[in-house]
Amino acid sequence: MILKEKDVEHLAELARIEISSAEKKKLLQDLEEILEHVKELEKVNTEGVDPVTGGTAKKNEYRGDDEDVCVSTPPKELQDAFPDKDGGHLKVPHVFD
Amino acid sequence: MDLKNLTIKKFHEGLMGKKFSAKEAAETFFSSIKKEDEKYGAYLRLTEELALSQALSVDKKIDGGEKVGALAGVPLAVKDVILIKDEIVSGASKILSEYKAGYDATVIKNLKEENSMFLGYTNCDEFAMGASTENSGIQITKNPHDTSRVPGGSSGGSAAAVAADLTVAALGSDTGGSIREPASFCGVVGLKPTYGSVSRFGLMAMASSLDQIGCLTKTVEDAVILFQAIAGRDEFDATSEEHDWSDVMDFDAERAKGLTVGLPEEYFVEGLDAQVEKGLDEALGRFKKLGIKFKKVSLPHTSLGVSCYYIIMPAEVSSNLARLDGIRYSRIIKDDAIEALLDIYKKQKGEGFGEEVRRRIMLGTFVLSHGYYDAYYAQAQKVRRLICRDFEKAFDSGVDAMLTPVYPTPAFKIGEKASDPLEMYLGDIFTIPTSLAGLPGLSAPVKDYKVGSGELPIGFQLIGKKFREQDILGLGRLYETSS
């Protein structure tokens, strides 16, 4: 066993996902099966192999600070896209108890 | 106006020859979708108002004697993960059911400049996670060739819409096979471009080092036209690159005949379905008859692709989808369930994400977590390097492209693999390595499969060198015109 039920609870906490106890069992079983399978990578000799770090071989990319390379959205539209608001303010519940 | 087998090419000829107007085309497609799509469930939402305004503007241009391009007025379907400004786009997820895009994806912007017409959004697996479109948070899509079977995924709605003649062509996205596999299952052409060929700006990010937007079309010729319109450097996507695609269009069949195609032995193994094997034999025979030279090659790390992918992809998923926290893009939970900020995050994701999305987020969170990172994620990225090197070596041995199966079986039954995620993942074995290496892949039908014939389509895959879409498209076009 790679994972225990309490690990699944911890992962759910880290991922900020609420899961039911029935789902916890199913998730544990699914994750266990997948992790058992991907364990085959352990056996591959990768000594001296540099890891891939992304989809592109390009190095640092900079773009000019030009007006035509930014998406300009009117503030009103941005506010409208926010789920909870009050006048011109964006609302979120309190962060601390 | 006959929608059957209507290609971009034929549409353009019809429009220019005044056989129909763009407005008539829009109306005909919408009435056909409303009548026929009940059977398939390919579309999630139609964008009628937008399409009609686009059609009228094209008609006005043509009437005014203005010159228009090959994509003018062409009806296109769009996978529900690509943003069209002011339209609802949900990633086929409950969590974004009311999300309206604030801007156009670059591919959409390009196609608007070409005066194309968008019919609507097509179904897919939730946030493009799946291989059957069964993971959609909204509905199931059925394969037009056999409605008891899946259309493939995750771009299943796009593939089904093209196969059922409910659009002329469609946009999809491919992370580990999500354009190529549904194209194969539905008997249409699917192109996953090289990583960096097409801008990802405005595509809902799933796994950013693997995602690419591509097209689903009725012919390779159409794929060429659509690819040219969406390819190119975009300032909004730092991984996009400019290349000279001019010889994509002017592909010389004689040059295609001069190409050498590799047959990777690891792709022709036991366990391949007999129909797939027969289909591949037929394709190989036809290519040989055309004078294409073949050569056996080896890609020794092929079998590790699935394991590699199902570590890297969920890791990126867990990071990318963290933004859908109920604060920014949408909120689907009721106010009375909220006491503190943390409640929003947890309840929003708990209720809004479907099972597969939650599974991948959890898996990704695990492989990136303290103490496991090196054993899983870092090791997977090293194995990914070995997979890339396999391809480099094979190409260096004098091979220009490779011919492989797309999927081990034809379209499977709805529900057949739904309860076993690992079994579903293992099916991606032939499409994943191409994605991990960032190479272009074309899925094309072995022959012309007619909806209603009862025959299940089989596709073959052509894998090309980086930014050499012209090779695989050229070979595909040569094949298509030889029948």
Question: Which residue in B365, B434, B466 has the most chain A C-beta atoms within 10 A of its own C-beta, making it the best mutation to test that interface?
Answer: B365
Contact A42 B346 (CB under 8 A): no
Residues of A in contact with B318 (CB under 8 A): 15
Domain B8-256+407-414+440-481 sits in CATH at 3.90.1300.10
Q: In Å, how far are B178, B280, B427 from B273, measured between CA atoms?
A: 20, 11, 12
Q: Which amino acid is at B224?
A: V
DSSP structure string for B44-112: EEE-HHHHHHHHHHHHHHHHTT----TTTT-EEEEETTB--TTSB--TT-GGGTT-B-SS--HHHHHHH
A3-51 pLDDT per residue, tens: 999 999 999 999 999 999 999 999 999 999 999 999 999 999 999 999 9
Q: What is the mean pLDDT of residues A65-69?
A: 76
- Residue B154 known to be catalytic: yes
Contact B404, B461 (CB under 8 A): yes
- pLDDT above 70 for B252: no
Residues of A in contact with B196 (CB under 8 A): 55-56, 58
Q: Mean pLDDT lowest for which of A69-83, B108-122, B318-332, B426-440?
A: A69-83
Going by pLDDT thresholds of 50, 70 and 90, the confidence category of residue B334 is confident
Min Cα separation A69/chain B (Å): 6
Place of tokens 């608007």: B112
* B206 alpha carbon, distance to own chain's centre: 13
Contact B435, B174 (CB under 8 A): yes
- pLDDT above 70 for B335: yes
The predicted structure's pLDDT at residue B270: 81
Contact B438 A83 (CB under 8 A): no
Indicate the helix (H) or strand (E) that contains B43: strand B43-46
Q: Where are the alpha helices (DSSP H) in B272-401?
A: 274-289, 305-320, 341-352, 355-367, 379-396
Contact B365 A82 (CB under 8 A): no
Q: What is the mean pLDDT of residues B406-423?
A: 94
- pLDDT above 90 for B266: yes
Tell me the two tokens of residue B72: 């003018």
CA B445, B227, B187: angle at the middle one, nearest 5?
A: 15
Contact B350 A17 (CB under 8 A): yes
- Residue B178 known to be catalytic: yes
The predicted structure's pLDDT at residue B339: 81
Catalytic residue among B155, B158, B178, B435: B178
Task: Compute how many other C-beta atoms are within 10 angstroms of the C-beta atom of residue B34.
Answer: 13
Going by pLDDT thresholds of 50, 70 and 90, the confidence category of residue A95 is confident
The predicted structure's pLDDT at residue B249: 66
DSSP code, position B231:
B
The predicted structure's pLDDT at residue B426: 93
3 state DSSP class of B336: helix
Across all residues in chain B, what is the average pLDDT?
95
Contact B365 A11 (CB under 8 A): yes
- pLDDT above 80 for B337: no
Give the list of residues 6+ apart from residue B330 with CB closer than 8 angstroms, or none: A83, B95, B96, B97, B98, B99, B324, B352
A8 torsion bin: left (phi>0), alpha (psi -120 to 50), beta (else): alpha
Q: Which amino acid is at B391?
A: F
| Helix B305-320 and helix A21-38, axial crossing angle in degrees, nearest 10 | 140
The predicted structure's pLDDT at residue B356: 96
Which residue in the set A15, A54, A92 is minimally distant from B341, CB to CB?
A92
Q: What is the mean pLDDT of residues B111-120?
A: 98
Q: What is the mean pLDDT of residues B298-326?
A: 97
Give the list of residues 6+ apart from residue B246 with CB closer than 8 angstroms, or none: none
- Residue B79 known to be catalytic: yes
Contact B379 A44 (CB under 8 A): yes
| Helix B8-16 and helix B220-230, axial crossing angle in degrees, nearest 10 | 80
Full set of structural domains in chain A with CATH: 5-43 (1.10.20)
Q: What is the mean pLDDT of residues B364-376?
A: 94
B346-355 pLDDT per residue, tens: 999 999 999 9
Number of alpha carbons in the 13 Å side-chain half-sphere of residue B235: 9
Q: Where are the alpha helices (DSSP H) in chain A?
A: 5-15, 21-38, 75-80
DSSP structure string for B365-429: HHHTSTTTTIIIIIHHHHHHHHHHHHHHHHHHTT-SEEEEESSSSSPPBTTSSTT-HHHHHHGGG
Q: What is the mean pLDDT of residues B309-334?
A: 94
Say which residue, B180 or A77, is predicted with more confidence. B180
3 state DSSP class of A51: coil
Residues of B in contact with A11 (CB under 8 A): 362, 365-366, 369
Say which residue, A92 or B97, is predicted with more confidence. B97
For chain B, the structural domain boundaries read 8-256+407-414+440-481
The predicted structure's pLDDT at residue B251: 64
Contact B239 A55 (CB under 8 A): yes
The predicted structure's pLDDT at residue A6: 95
Min Cα separation B114/chain A (Å): 20
Question: Which residue in A5, A34, A95 has the most chain B C-beta atoms within 10 A of its own C-beta, making it the best mutation to test that interface?
Answer: A34
Which residue in the set B102, B103, B366 is minimally distant from A11, CB to CB?
B366
Q: What is the mean pLDDT of residues B57-78?
A: 97
Going by pLDDT thresholds of 50, 70 and 90, the confidence category of residue B45 is very high
Among chain B residues, the shortest Cα distance to A53 is held by B381
